[in-house]
């Protein structure tokens, strides 16, 4: 389901706010509604034989192994708005009322899944996307025209495995490919293993490909194995390409359960003083800001963490006007570990606040050689958690951080949902606005702000 808050200014200069929600009308949702019951068997987690059986039954009954979902992100391209998840094609959405229009396959030129995080290339306005598949070709990269009418370039970079790649980077000239060891493997499943597995002893690499390059043009940089779902930004600096993302040495996927003693180093109990609610978990499951520098001339790579172990960060945001360009600020949701793990073995991340990452400034530290950046925090308070946050730049703003963070907030104590608007330049202050919504907005993934 999509949830939208509309801000409308009338001719007299007064503002009104309205709220709408709608289900994305995918073909499989319409099928299940016609039958008035769920039809697809779960085919991701569980016993290998059960997953195989679910694949077979789903395919024989419906011609596909999984239901179509569009629950991960909302993006805009060429004036059109799309809801997307990477197991299917994007669904075009009418922004006025959230009605589903149609499936977008770029005029019939795109015949596979579509990433939830396509990127608009700086300068050209082209949309860089990719789609993964459990069979060869495992990953295909596409470049869509700025007007969204045609696929200008399509290439198979010839990966040797199906990596659960969730994001792609762009710079002025390059596409950035993340080949991580979180893999999907049907052969492994048939042998009784996991469909999705983090192969910690395997390899990881980052590829730098010219915008219209082929497989032979990709420069691959081998790096230490890691798990990453979200890049923050990529940009060129002299002979180097700088890649920033939220990196973890291990993965909570496929899970689904972890013993609590793996997380026995939680940092603190939630405090009544919401500014002291920093939370953390054991280092191998922390997502921290990491930066690689890929030297295209010497073919060498260097890198390191830019944030410490006090916080686990996810769902990063920047001012999208700086996508693919050097930037100074980023923002992320901060995990409240005690609420996320609670008294259950099941990991259910909840985000108790936001962090502002000041990338050009280093904080004072007693750790020799440390180069951790300065951070500011905006804590939501006890029993309040956020999701679907987005950065909104001020129209005509003169500074990169001149804008707001806007996010859905749920208060679990009184079961109310709000939207908070936070001044990014006065980040630690109280929100400039809190808007109560008449319906509960469930925790979700990504949010977007679309200006009309």
327 annotated as belonging to a binding site for a ligand: no
Distance CA 125, CA 275 (A): 40
Collect all residues with Cβ–Cβ distance below 8 Å to 425 and sequence separation of at least 6: 399, 401, 402
How does 261-274 read in b/e, with b if 16+ C-beta sit within 10 Å? Answer: eebeebeeebeeeb
Residue 117 marked in a binding site: yes
Longest dimension (CA), the chain: 68
Q: For the chain, give percent helix, strand, coil, nearest 5.
A: 10, 40, 50
Distance CA 206, CA 372 (A): 23
Task: Select from 9, 74, 141, 106 the least CA-distant residue to 388.
Answer: 74
Is 230 labelled as part of a ligand binding site?
yes
Q: Which of these, 370, 346, 452, 358, lies nearest to 399 by C-alpha position? A: 358
Range list of β-strands (E), 202-265: 204-210, 219-223, 227-237, 240-248
* Whole-number Å distance between alpha carbons of 440 and 226: 36
Query: Does the annotation place 446 within a ligand binding site?
Result: yes
CA angle in degrees (0–180, nearest 5) for 315-337-433: 55
Contact 359, 325 (CB under 8 A): no
Residues 6+ apart with CB under 8 A from 187: none
Whether the Cβ atoms of residue 78 and residue 146 lie closer than 8 Å to each other: yes
What is residue 81's three-state secondary structure? strand
Helices (H) and strands (E) in the chain, counts: 4, 29
Helix (H) or strand (E) segment spanning residue 187 = helix 186-190
Measured distance CA(199)–CA(277) in Å, rounded: 34
> Are 65 and 43 contacting, i.e. CB atoms less than 8 angstroms apart?
yes
Q: ∠433-77-167 over CA atoms, to 5°?
A: 85
Closest to 175 measured CA to CA, from 230, 105, 126, 245: 126
Task: Tell me how far apart the alpha carbons of residues 9 and 17 are, in angstroms, rounded to a whole number.
Answer: 9
Alpha helices in 7-155 (DSSP H): 27-35, 48-62
Binding site, residues?
A: 117, 166, 230, 446
Binding site for Fe cation, residues?
A: 117, 166, 230, 446
């Amino acid at each position: 389901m999509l949830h939208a808050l509309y801000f409308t200014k009338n001719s007299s200069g007064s503002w009104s706010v309205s709220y709408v929600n709608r289900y994305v009308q995918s073909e499989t949702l319409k099928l299940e509604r016609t039958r008035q019951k769920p039809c697809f068997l779960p085919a991701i987690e569980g016993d290998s034989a059960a997953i195989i059986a679910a694949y077979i039954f789903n395919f024989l009954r419906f011609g596909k192994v999984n239901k179509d979902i569009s629950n991960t992100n909302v993006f805009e391209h060429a004036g059109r708005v799309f809801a997307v998840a990477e197991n299917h094609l994007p669904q075009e959405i009418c922004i006025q009322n959230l009605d589903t229009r149609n499936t977008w396959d770029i005029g019939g030129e795109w015949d596979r899944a579509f990433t939830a995080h396509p990127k608009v290339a700086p300068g050209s306005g082209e949309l860089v996307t990719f789609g993964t598949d459990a069979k060869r070709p495992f990953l295909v990269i596409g470049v869509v025209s700025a007007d969204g009418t045609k696929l200008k370039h399509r290439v198979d970079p010839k990966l040797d495995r199906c990596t659960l790649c969730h994001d792609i980077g762009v710079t002025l000239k390059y596409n950035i490919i993340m080949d991580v060891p979180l893999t999907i493997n049907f052969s492994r499943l048939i042998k009784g293993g996991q469909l999705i597995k983090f192969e910690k002893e395997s390899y990881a690499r980052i590829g730098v490909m010219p915008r219209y390059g082929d497989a032979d043009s990709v420069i691959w940089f081998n790096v230490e194995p890691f798990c990453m779902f979200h890049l923050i930004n990529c940009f060129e600096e002299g002979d180097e390409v700088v890649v920033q993302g939220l990196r973890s040495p291990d993965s909570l996927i496929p899970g689904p359960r972890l013993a609590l003693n793996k997380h026995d180093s939680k940092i603190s109990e939630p405090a009544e003083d919401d500014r002291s609610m920093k939370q953390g978990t054991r280092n191998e499951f922390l997502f921290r800001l990491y930066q690689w520098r890929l030297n295209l001339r010497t073919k060498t790579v260097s890198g390191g963490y830019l944030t410490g172990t006090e916080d686990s960060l996810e769902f990063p945001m920047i001012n999208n006007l700086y996508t693919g360009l050097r930037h100074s600020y980023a923002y992320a949701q901060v995990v409240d570990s005690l609420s996320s793990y609670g008294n259950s073995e099941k990991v259910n991340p909840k985000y108790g606040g936001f962090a502002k990452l000041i990338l050009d400034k280093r904080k004072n530290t007693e750790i020799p050689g440390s180069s951790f950046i300065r951070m500011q925090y905006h804590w939501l308070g006890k029993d309040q958690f956020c999701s679907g946050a987005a950065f909104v730049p001020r129209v005509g703003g003169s500074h990169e951080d001149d804008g707001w963070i806007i996010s859905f907030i749920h208060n679990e104590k009184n079961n109310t949902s709000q939207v908070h608007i936070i001044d990014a330049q006065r980040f630690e202050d109280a929100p400039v606005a809190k808007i109560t919504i008449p319906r509960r907005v469930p925790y979700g993934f990504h949010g977007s702000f679309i200006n009309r």
